[in-house]
Amino acid sequence: MDDSAETVRIGVLAFRGAETTVSEWSPMLDRLSRSRADRRFELLKLDHDGLRSAVADRRVDFVITNPGHYVELEAEFGISRILTLAGSSTVSPDQAIGSAVVVRRDRTDLQSLEDLRGKSLAIVGREGFGGFQIVWGELSSRGIDPDRDLSALRSVGLPMDGVLDAVERADVDAGVVRACLLESMGSRSANFRVLSPQTPSAFPCTTSTRLYPDWPMAALRHTSPALAREVAIALLSATEGTGPGWSVPADYQSVHELFRTLEIGPYTYLREPTLTDLAERYWPWLLGVLALMASGALYTVHVEHLVHKRTAALRAALAERETLEAGIRAAQEQADHLSRLSMLGELSGTLAHELNQPLATIGNYAASLSRRVDNGRLDDDAVRQATHEITCEAERAAAILSRIRAFARKRTAKRERFRPAQVAAEAIALFRGMLAQAPRVELIDHLAEDRTVEADPLQIQQVLLNLLKNAYDASRDQPAERRALQLGMTAVADGICLWVRDNGPGLDEAARRHLFEPFFTTKPDGLGLGLSICKTIAEAHGGRLTATPPETGPGMIFTLTLPDHA
């Protein structure tokens, strides 16, 4: 044979072992080689998967396989049948393959396919057509699901004789073999019996199932049509004795129907996955998801526990803070009160003098009245004038006392809307009322007449009074013309400022830095608390207190800035 000859490869499903296959098919190969001297024909004996991958990789040009496998390869790789085996003249190629379910002859308890429920069954493999799939179709038409209703489905693999061995050894209750295998075995067949036996007309063997077309030979997509025709013609014209006979391709519709019923091969897509199927297929994933969910749940519980714990801790901390704040507020109010009392203390040395004046006037008028009574010179006019003066002086004394009482009262802070001008006027009155020789205080009001702020009027008054007193202290030793003070009111963005200016010696930079610190004082009898309390009051209102030297002239300007809304 010419070495350059083109090699044509035929893949064959080895169904009774490789050696048997060679002896079965070699006459056919010889026949084909003889028909074309320029081609060399080669046989590849493969199992199901081997044959499938040979087709996928185009390592073969033709395929000879069982009808079920053919239907699968046809759907997947587009192979097309060109011939169907015609095994013997007595069998029609359309009705050539059936399966026999065999049991040991002594198993009288097993007669029909229905008796297989709960029994074990040996098969070649799930891909076996005559070796399993045909029987699967029969069982399923009787409502038996091999996976669910048999006690075991055992694959013993090729060759098929292994199934008979398993049945004979009683490893299994029954086994599936291709019909006619038993008949070809001679005396050994006497050990077995076929379940639900049928002997269809024009079929020489006993079968448990209906019959399907014989094995096809198919050309692959890449195989040239000319080569396919040549091979078909060579095999169709073969005479007896030159290998298996071939006929024109049979109709494989019945195989398609079987596969559609079983939802396998090209019809696998029909198999709607049930929840159990999914669970079976994806159980590792499901397990993973469940584990994730479980750890998620545990984590959530853990986090909730932590949140609970932290919330409780936070609540306790807040409660503690509130208690502390309440304490600080109380201390602040007390310091406020003390500061007012201390201011009064400082100023009240002169208070006695201030009250002395109206009391002395009242005393004088009373004495003058009694003198006139004694002299007999008491007339109506004198009585009217004396009582009028007495009333006026008594009112003046009462007003001084009531302002001091109001100022010295212990109270809690509050917020109300009021006119700053009024509070400033009251502060000046209180300041002047408490001093024997009060300096002049000029009120410079740049605010609109109806301008109001929201604050605690008494606290603002306290600040102003403190600033006036400090200004007075700073300038009391100055010549008379520098003792006058100024209290001003100016509008600023979103609020107002109230300022007090004196013409005293002022403060240097270093002193200004410590001015608002508690206990900073330069006075021998000073407490050094006034300005620090004033600053706290300003800040509690959302405002501030600053000390600056005036742009021109001596002294200091203390400015209290207040927002419209505290």
Q: What residue ranges bind ligand ADP (CB under 6 A)?
A: 466, 470-471, 474, 502, 504, 507, 515, 520-523, 526-532, 556
Nearest to 435 by CA among 351, 503, 360: 351
Give min distance, CB of 538 to ligand ADP, in A. 13
Q: Using the CB atoms, write b or e for 104-124: b if 16+ within 10 Å.
A: beebeebeebebbeebbbbbb
Closest separation between CB of residue 450 and ligand ADP, Å?
31
CA angle, 325 then 328 then 333, to 5°:
125
Q: Which is nearer to ligand ADP, 134 or 531 (CB)?
A: 531
* C-alpha distance from residue 56 to each of 77, 89, 158, 275 (Å): 7, 34, 22, 33
Min dist. Cβ of residue 482 to ligand ADP (A): 12
* Shortest Cβ 331–ligand ADP spacing (Å): 17
Beta strands in 312-455 (DSSP E): 416-418, 441-445, 453-455
- Whichever of 65 and 475 has its CB closer to ligand ADP, that residue is 475
- Choice between 163 and 531, CB closer to ligand ADP: 531
Q: Return the number of the residue (250 or 430) whose C-beta is nearest ligand ADP.
A: 430
Separation of alpha carbons 262 and 209, rounded Å: 15
Q: Least distance to ligand ADP from the beta carbon of 441, Å?
A: 13
CB-closest chain residue to ligand ADP: 530
Cβ 509 to ligand ADP shortest distance, Å? 13
Amino acid letter at 302? H
Instruction: Compute the half-sphere exposure of residue 396: CA atoms within 13 Å on the CB side of its CA.
Output: 19
Cβ proximity to ligand ADP: between 337 and 372 the closer is 337
Give the nearer residue to ligand ADP in terms of CB position, either 158 or 460. Answer: 460
Residue with tokens 């609109």: 448
Beta bridge partners of 152: 120
Q: What is the DSSP string of 37-48?
A: TTEEEEEEEE-H
Closest CB to ligand ADP among 238 and 471? 471
* Closest by Cα among 25, 16, 11, 98 to 61: 11
Of residues 200 and 518, the one with the C-beta less far from ligand ADP: 518
For ligand ADP, give the closer residue by CB, 234 or 435: 435
Q: Shortest Cβ distance from residue 506 to ligand ADP (Å)?
A: 6
**Residue 525 CB neighbours (<10 A):** 7
Smallest distance from the beta carbon of 403 to ligand ADP, in angstroms? 21
d(CA 183, CA 32): 30
Minimum CB distance to ligand ADP, residue 448 (Å): 28
Locate 175 and state its tokens: 């086994």
Contacts of 141 (CB under 8 A, 6+ apart): 261
